[in-house]
Structure 1
Amino acid sequence: MSATDRRSFLARSAALAAVPAVAALAGSTPAHADTGTDTLPDYAPIPPSALGPAVNAQGYFVGRVRKNLYWVTDGTYQAAFLTTRDGVVLFDAPPSIGQNLKRAIDEITAANGVSNKVTHIVYSHHHADHLGASSLFGRHVTRIGHAENKRLLLRDNDPTRPAPDVTFEDRYTLRVGGERVELAWHGTNHTPDNIYIHFPGHDTLMLVDLNLPGWAPFDTFNINEDVPGSIAAPAKAMAYPWKTFIGGHMGRLGTRADMVVYQQYVDDLIDNIKKALVAVDPTPFFVKYGNNSWAAVKAYQAAQVEYASAPVIKKYTGVLAAVDVYTDSTTFLILESVRLDLGIGSQVHD
């Protein structure tokens, strides 16, 4: 089985394994649980450049980023860890990787003859899909996050995500075992607590849930809570000196070139959205639907989204993976931000 085939098989197996759990949470049986029934529309092929290394038989890949900095992925989520003379510093703990984080750390530390004890966990932000395996490492680990991260985790009261022991407001320098990691908060973006994690001795930056290298953003612009802040984040990231980028998702690492492509993609969407806000006439939709205002607004905005997104989807097909899957929903969220946050397209009634 080729590496590409293995990636596809394991990803499909993981998705199918999740179906019963999702159905149980929903309180129903999925209508198309039959693996032979394909209800998805046809999408553009995934560019080979978007794919990373194949995962092993246990469902993970661990590799060196630079020197003693390593990354772990299950093909969908990513974490990182730094080995030091005093132990291991872990950056995020996605539950989808789970116990494989320990296996990856054990594999690398055994090969290098260093301690496998995790002494610190740095939280990129509070979301459970990136921290839900934190509790696997016990109570005697120093957890570090932004001050807002602690507030949000105390609010959520999730035992799988213990609140951080050490917090900071703007900047924090973590020094462990002769290593230095710079943590910084540059304003709200994906979440109010999402931080920039810079490894100056390893030419690497970790910024989670903003740019997913090689891929278009996830649904509704990665579900970013602050759209203007998220649009501004890549420029702040590029101000750091780094060569390798850890984005928290999908199966490969990123480069500065990946960040440039992502910025161009978002800029193109914004340019087209501004045009759509002027070019698409709302009148026919309100005439058609009469006093059903929501139906008129829905149809009108769908037309704006189509106008803005279609050229971008065409331009980036073959450049960014799955650009035809979620660009429409990303366009809608950015359109609403351009309209509501920037005031473009709003008109004062005469």
Structure 2
Amino acid sequence: MKNKIKFLIALSFVSIMGSLLLPSSITIPIASAEVYEDLQFLTPVSTISSPQNSNVTNATTTASVPDISKGPPIPSKGYLVEEIRDGLYWITDGVYNTMFLVSDQGVTAIDAPPSIGENYIKAIKEVTDKPIQYVIYSHSHVDHIGAAGSIFPNNVTYIAQEETANLLKEANDTRRPVPTVTFTDHYELNSGNQTLELDYKGVNHEPGNIYIYAPKQKTLMLVDVIFPGWSPFKELGITTHVPGFVKAHDTVLGYDFDTFVGGHLTRLGTSEDVILQKQFVNDLTNASMTANSNFDFGSFAQKYGMTNPWLVIEEYYNAVTNDCTDTMNEKWKDRLGGWEEFMNSHCWKMTESLRVD
């Protein structure tokens, strides 16, 4: 039973991401639990291989995405590394992405997604033989920094905002070493001929999530807030503070940047992607406000009675959320990748925020 559960979790992830990211001509193999026993949610993409088994049944993906969502193809080695400009590189496996900066003294790595894992080190070695000196955490979540403890040298300096440091101390997770350098609002990292500016402007995705800016390269990184070409992940990127998430769009647009790195999915972004997602969020806010005003909680209490208050609240919430979802689906159909998958969750998150925040 344990192996079966592991198989189903892994297969669900592979199937879902495959349907979102892969061309329709590519097939995803389905095999027995024994074949995929060791698959995990954060297994590096390059290590997931097709079993040579005559009993395998192929299921062809049918989901399509708009052109705006498509990024460069991922090589067979499982990752793509490219120079953005002037010694700043990005690496992606098609689901997660991050960046690293090479100076005349060494390398500054940002985050360490487990899905990329050791391929991060391979990518760095492809472009430089300089040592890794610094590791910057964008925030505390394990899906973005969970490989740090296993892939980086023991003598690197870890840098993070103090809220992130506090969360990591509480987590006590060896996969995510506690930062050795912390800051409150602003930190400038100078390494030889390169500079990175780190800013914390309040809670957006989670406490401690920072803006990472390379001024020379005019590149900005903010993780789990902007999803270039795509709808945000579920519940607005599982944000812990919707007002901060909304405000972050204007904060991003206040930077002078040509290239944006968002931490997820298929491609790099530009200011146009930020403007488009800001429009999405504005429409979501308006649809949520309208939906909240369209339904009276008292009428649900009268209809169902208050013997089971949770039933009344759930029916009320469902009506409001579905109203918002219908409005947003009609307005945003096929304009962003994954527009339909998480729309209901976005509407739930925003309508609830407008009720309580």
Could you tell me the TM-score, scaled by structure 1's length?
Answer: 0.85
State yes or no: 1:82 paired with 2:93: no
Pair 210,8 (structure 1): closer, same or farther in 2 beyond 3 Å: farther
CA contact (8 A) 1:145 1:167 kept: yes
**Count of paired positions:** 318
> What CA deviation, in whole Å up to 9, does each residue of 1:97-149 have, x standing for no partner?
0001011111122xxxxx34211111100111010111110320011100111
How far apart, in 1, do the equivalents of 2:160 and 2:144 lie? Answer: 13
Amino acid at match of 2:140: H
Aligned-pair identity (%): 36
Partner of 2:51: none
SS in 2 for 1:180: strand
How far apart, in 2, do the equivalents of 1:208 and 1:55 lie? Answer: 21
State yes or no: 1:198 paired with 2:217: no
State yes or no: 1:122 paired with 2:141: no
Partner of 1:308: 324
SS in 1 for 2:336: coil
How far apart, in 2, do the equivalents of 1:108 and 1:144 lie? Answer: 23
Shift of 1:10: 7.9
Aligned residues: CA RMSD? 2.6
Partner of 2:345: 329
Task: List alignment gaps of at least 5 residues for structure 2.
Answer: 1-20, 42-54
Amino acid at match of 1:320: L
Shift of 1:334: 1.2
Q: Which residue, out of 117, 120, 123, partners 1:98?
A: 117
Q: Which residue, out of 75, 79, 98, partners 1:60?
A: 79
Pair 248,305 (structure 1): closer, same or farther in 2 beyond 3 Å: same
SS in 1 for 2:101: strand
State yes or no: 1:181 paired with 2:164: no
Q: Which residue, out of 265, 269, 275, partners 2:290?
A: 275
CA contact (8 A) 2:30 2:58 kept: no
SS in 1 for 2:206: coil
Runs of 4 or more, structure 1, over 4 Å off, are 6-13, 16-20, 34-38
CA contact (8 A) 2:30 2:57 kept: no
Amino acid at match of 1:152: L
Shift of 1:21: 3.8
Shift of 1:293: 1.8
Shift of 1:158: 0.6
How far apart, in 1, do the equivalents of 2:58 and 2:332 lie? Answer: 29
SS in 2 for 1:173: strand
How far apart, in 1, do the equivalents of 2:167 and 2:30 lie? Answer: 33
Q: Which residue, out of 238, 242, 247, partners 2:257?
A: 242
> What CA deviation, in whole Å up to 9, does each residue of 1:246-269 have, x standing for no partner?
000001001101000100101101
CA contact (8 A) 1:144 1:164 kept: yes
Partner of 2:7: none
Could you tell me the TM-score, scaled by structure 2's length?
Answer: 0.83
Q: Pairwise mapping of residues 1-350 of structure 1 onto structure 2 (< 5 A)? A: 5=23, 20-21=39-40, 45-109=64-128, 115-135=129-149, 136-290=151-305, 291-341=307-357
